[in-house]
Amino acid sequence: MPIWEPEKEGMSRDELRQTQLERLQATLNRVYKNVSFYRRRFKEINFRPEDDFTEISDIERLPFTDGHDISESYPYEMFAVPLREVVRVHASSGSSTNPRVVGYTRQDLRTWSNLVARILSAGGVVQDDVIQITFGYGLLTGGLGIHYGAERIGASVLPTSVGHTERQIKIMQDFRTTVLVCTPSYAIAIADRMDTIGLSAKNLSLKYCICAGEPWTEEMRREIEGRLLVKATDNYGITEVLGPGIAGECLEQCGMHIQEDHFLAEVIDPQSGTVLGPGMKGELVLTTLTKEAFPSIRFRTGDISSITDEPCTCGRTTRRISRIFERCDDVVVIKGINIIPDRIGDILQQIRGERPVFQLVAVRQGHQDQLEIWVEVTEQFFYDKMREQRALLDFMSKKIANFIGITPTIKLVERGSLVREGGVVKPFVDRRV
Amino acid sequence: MLTVKSVHTYYGNIHALKGVSLHVRKGEIVTLVGSNGAGKSTLVNTICGMTRPSRGHIELNGQPITGLAPENIVRKGIALAPEGRQVFSAMTVAANLLMGGFIHRRNPEQLREDMDRLYNRFPILKTRHRQLAGTLSGGEQQMLAISRALMSRPQLLVLDEPSMGLAPLVTRDIFSIILELKEEGRTILLIEQNARAALKIADRGYVMETGKVVLEGEGLQLLEHREVKRAYLGRGARQIWEA
């Protein structure tokens, strides 16, 4: 398979280290000058990039940035360029009170498309492909991110966006889609629906499936490959750092190549913050090396992974991250959407003025993930009349859907019946496995 | 080929280079742009051995050259066409070229050969080879300065402000000479205040500001960048939002 930018993706390790050093130095100089958040943070530990940054490893002195910091800077406080230089704004999936808003300059968009072109190429996409993108378009980075990368390659893009599974299948068949971009669980949902309507994958032209957006397993990969008759690859993106395009698997399927000339990846112990060596599992921490509008310094992704520096046979010299094993914070990922249980509590509290005892439950119906919210019943949430009761539950569900983007099922349960741990209700129970 | 890692240089109390890193690959034109006082020339002086860095490393083809004397750096393979040309004005054109080939002085045949090649390439220098260098025009002096640097058969050619003080038409000639040198496979580090012209012909560029690199990227993509425009327009061009 061709490599999109062979001279960059196959750079010698020495040159890559030097490039990282130069770009990191320039990035630190810029954020120190232009972003008051970072300047304050650096000053607190008495760190001046011009004096104290000499080696890449010096970055370990710098504090981490997390999603909370970015929410606090809502909307534009962490931008490193004036708004008039910004040509696109995205926001993360509203997993906290303030969405995390990120911006892109014209050059950022060029870099972004190019990086997505790299990971799509790694996953098998070429100019002749017809690529169907079932990620959400809009403020989320998934849809537009992949879209521009696919156009950069010159593939024919079908921006079908989310949902309407049967229509997706019809388009896939009639438009002779060769590459499907989706969350892994949606790939399986599509396969299920095809079974229901009696359509065989042999009648499709699919060759590759580019999966992202949620943690998945090797078994799911085999299932997708077997049922849709494709080769499926994994890729990694996170809005606060870029969106899709940070790392992606090649057809060797042995981990996601990090685009190391644009990002510095570390894996840390989520408790102590110590940097862990290759092969050790921990939280992935990313620093941008070329982003202009929204540089991130040591951003804690909350995703548990590990880095391998064993060479890959594909010819790329970049290190790879393993698939994402799980989240290390209380963020729940369902259908590629990040949800923080506490925020759901905030919304429920607004409805009746009282914060109910509740629990998020992820269930899998067939192959589709669903979010259920189990609420322990109190007088505030109970009506004698069936109709009023139903209206309240619908209202709650809609209100939450407005906020997180997917519609949960609300279930009232008996008091004291929710799963507890040490006397405290667990905020999240995963019943998908 | 050339690798500079986190170099700091002081002039007395003035911290002129504050942790600068850059690299030049074989066959590339890399340009360094920035306004007056950004530290471009200090970096050149540091690379070429005229000033010693207080911290940091400089390597040529993996060999350390940090702090070597200028003549030894020429021997290692870096030649400079300095800012303001600095031709030996009281000497003839031919003598200037011979000075450039100083390190090969025990090999007169090679010097002869190289001079002939340069005369072929810049016939005007041949015509004037007996003339004193000080009597040449600005553009001719620049050709001489570049030729003089080439006489040492460098692996890396450093050009410091080659367009300085030249008329626009002459500047264009000089830049097309630089492009020709690249096509011959030479490796060039080009320092220019004329950011626009330099970035147009460069593979990559670094933007310097007050002794630091603030941007790195491909030549054409830097052209339209805000920081570059600032560097081009000068540091005085503050943006309203920075107040």
pLDDT, tens digit, for every residue of A130-163? 999 999 998 989 999 999 999 999 999 999 999 8
Calpha distance A56→A62 (Å, rounded): 11
Gyration radius of chain B's alpha carbons: 18
Asked whether the predicted pLDDT for residue A415 surpasses 80, the reply is yes
Q: Specify the CATH number for the domain of residue A142.
A: 3.40.50.12780
Residue B236 makes CB contacts below 8 A (sequence gap 6+) with none
- CA R_g for chain A: 22
Q: In this complex, which of B21, B211, B212 lies closest to A21 when CB atoms are compared?
A: B21
Give me the pLDDT at residue A341, please: 84
Quick check: bond before A75 cis, omega within 30? yes
Cβ within 8 Å, pair B217-A81: no
CA distance, residue A14 to nearest chain B CA (Å): 10
In a domain? residue A65? no
> Cα(B189)–Cα(B24) distance, rounded to whole angstroms?
7
Q: For A350, what's the count of Cα atoms within 13 Å in the CB-facing half-sphere?
A: 12
Q: Quick check: is A299 in a domain?
A: yes
Alpha carbon distance A353, A349 (integer Å) = 5
How many angstroms away from the CA of B116 is the closest CA of chain A?
Answer: 37
Give the end of a domain, one of A269, A301, A328: A328
Q: Could you give the count of Cα atoms lying within 13 Å of B236 in the half-sphere of its Cβ? A: 2
Beta strands A332-334 and A337-339 are: antiparallel
Same domain, yes or no: A216 and A344 = no
Least confident segment among A61-65, A109-113, B130-134, B224-228: B224-228
Dump the DSSP string for A320-341. Answer: EEPPP-EESSS-EEETTEEE-H
Domain that holds residue A357: 340-431
- Shared domain check, A235 and A94: yes
- In the sheet that A326-327 helps form, which strands lie side by side, from edge to edge? A263-268, A282-288, A299-305, A326-327
**Per-position DSSP letters for A33-86, written without gaps between them:** HH-HHHHHHHHHTT--HHHH--SGGGGGGSPPB-HHHHHHTTTTTT-SS-GGGE
What does the alpha-carbon distance between residue B60 and residue B43 come to, in Å, rounded to a whole number? 15
The pLDDT-based confidence of A284 (bands split at 50, 70, 90) is very high
- Position A339 scores a pLDDT of 83
Mean pLDDT for chain B overall: 90
The whole-number pLDDT of residue A317 equals: 96
Residues A362 and A303 in one domain: no
Are residue A138 and residue A254 in the same domain, yes or no? yes
How big is the CA angle at A181 (ends A176 and A186), to the nearest 5 degrees? 105
The more confidently predicted of residues B107 and B34 is B107
pLDDT of residue B37: 84
Nearest CA-CA distance, residue A26 and chain B, Å:
4
- Average pLDDT of the residues in A411-429: 82
Same domain, yes or no: A142 and A120:
yes
For residues A229 and A408, give the distance between their C-alpha atoms in angstroms, rounded to a whole number: 32
**pLDDT (0 to 100) of residue A93:** 62
Number of structural domains in chain A: 2
- A264 with A362, same domain: the answer is no
pLDDT grade for B172, boundaries at 50, 70 and 90:
very high
- What integer pLDDT is reported at residue B243 of this predicted model? 43
Kindly state the average pLDDT of the residues A365-384.
Answer: 83
- Rounded to the nearest 5 degrees, what angle is found at the Cα of A381, between the Cα atoms of A375 and A384? 125
Does A274 map to a domain?
A: yes
B57: contact with A, CB 8 A cutoff: no
Question: CB pairs below 8 Å between A and B: how many?
Answer: 61
User: CB–CB of A51 and B226 under 8 A?
Assistant: no
The CATH number of the domain where A407 resides is what?
3.30.300.30
Contact A29 B217 (CB under 8 A): no
A250's tokens: 């090649």
At B234 the pLDDT is 54
Does residue A350 sit in the same domain as residue A319? no
Task: Give me the residue label for tokens 């030479």.
Answer: B186
Out of B5, B22, B241, name the one closest to residue A82 (CB): B241
Statement: residue A170 has pLDDT above 90: yes
Please tell me whether the interface predicted TM-score (ipTM) of this complex is above 0.90: no
pLDDT over 70 for what percent of chain A?
99
Tell me the per-residue pLDDT of A200-228, one tens digit each, with 9 for 90 and over. 999 999 999 999 988 888 999 999 999 99
Closest-CA residue to A6 (of A288, A252, A250, A309): A250
**The pLDDT of residue A113 is above 90:** yes
Q: Per-residue pLDDT for A250 more than 90? A: yes
Residues A310 and A290 in one domain: yes
Q: Which of these, A331, A182, A15, lies nearest to B1 by C-alpha position?
A: A15
Q: A158-172, A370-384, B10-24, B101-115: lowest mean pLDDT where?
A: A370-384
Q: SS3 for A257?
A: strand
A4 occurs within a structural domain: no
Does residue A381 have a pLDDT over 80?
no
**Closest CA of chain B from A15, distance in Å:** 9
Q: What are the residue ranges of helices labelled H in A353-407?
A: 386-404
3-class SS shares of chain A: helix, strand, coil, % to 5: 35, 25, 40
CB atoms within 10 A of CB B25: 15
Q: Which residue has the tokens 């540089």?
A: A295
**Running DSSP on this structure, what letter comes out for residue B135?**
G
Please write the tens of the pLDDT for every residue from B26-84: 999 999 988 888 899 999 999 999 999 999 999 999 999 998 999 999 999 999 999 98
Higher pLDDT, B187 or A350: B187
Per-residue pLDDT at A214: 84
Report yes or no on A112 lying in a domain: yes
Closest CA to B173 of B221, B141, B205: B141
Specify if A17 maps to a domain. no
Identify the band that residue A1 occupies on the pLDDT scale cut at 50, 70 and 90.
Answer: confident
Task: List the one residue out of A339, A221, A283, A257 whose CA is nearest residue A65.
Answer: A283
The pLDDT of B99-128, averaged and rounded, is: 94
Of A26, A81, A82, nearest to B213 by CB-CB distance is A26
pLDDT at B240 over 60: no
Q: Which residue of B has its CA nearest to A27?
A: B214
Q: Please state which CATH number belongs to domain B2-242.
A: 3.40.50.300
Do A354 and A249 share a structural domain?
no
pLDDT in tens, A235-246: 999 999 999 999
Digit-coded pLDDT (tens) for A323-340: 998 777 777 888 778 788
Mean pLDDT score across all residues of chain A: 91
Does A66 reside within a domain?
no
- Name beta bridge partners: A88: A104
Residue to mutate among B214, B221, B227, with most A CBs inside 10 A, is B214
Enumerate the domain spans of chain B: 2-242
> Is the same domain home to A382 and A295?
no
Distance separating alpha carbons of residues B122 and B110, to the nearest angstrom: 18
Percent with pLDDT over 90 in chain A: 68
Q: Is residue A124 in a domain?
A: yes
**A24-38, A351-365, B48-62, B144-158: which range is least confident on average?**
A351-365
Residues A206 and A314 in one domain: yes
**Residue A218 CB neighbours (<10 A):** 10
A197 and A345 assigned to the same domain: no
Domain termination site, one of A299, A328, A357 = A328
Angle at the Cα of A299 from the Cα atoms of A293 and A300, rounded to 5 degrees: 150
Count of residues in chain A: 433
Structure tokens at B132: 């004193």
Taking CA–CA distances from A86, the nearest residue in chain B reads B226
**Burial level of A431, CB count in 10 A (0-12/13-18/19+)?**
exposed
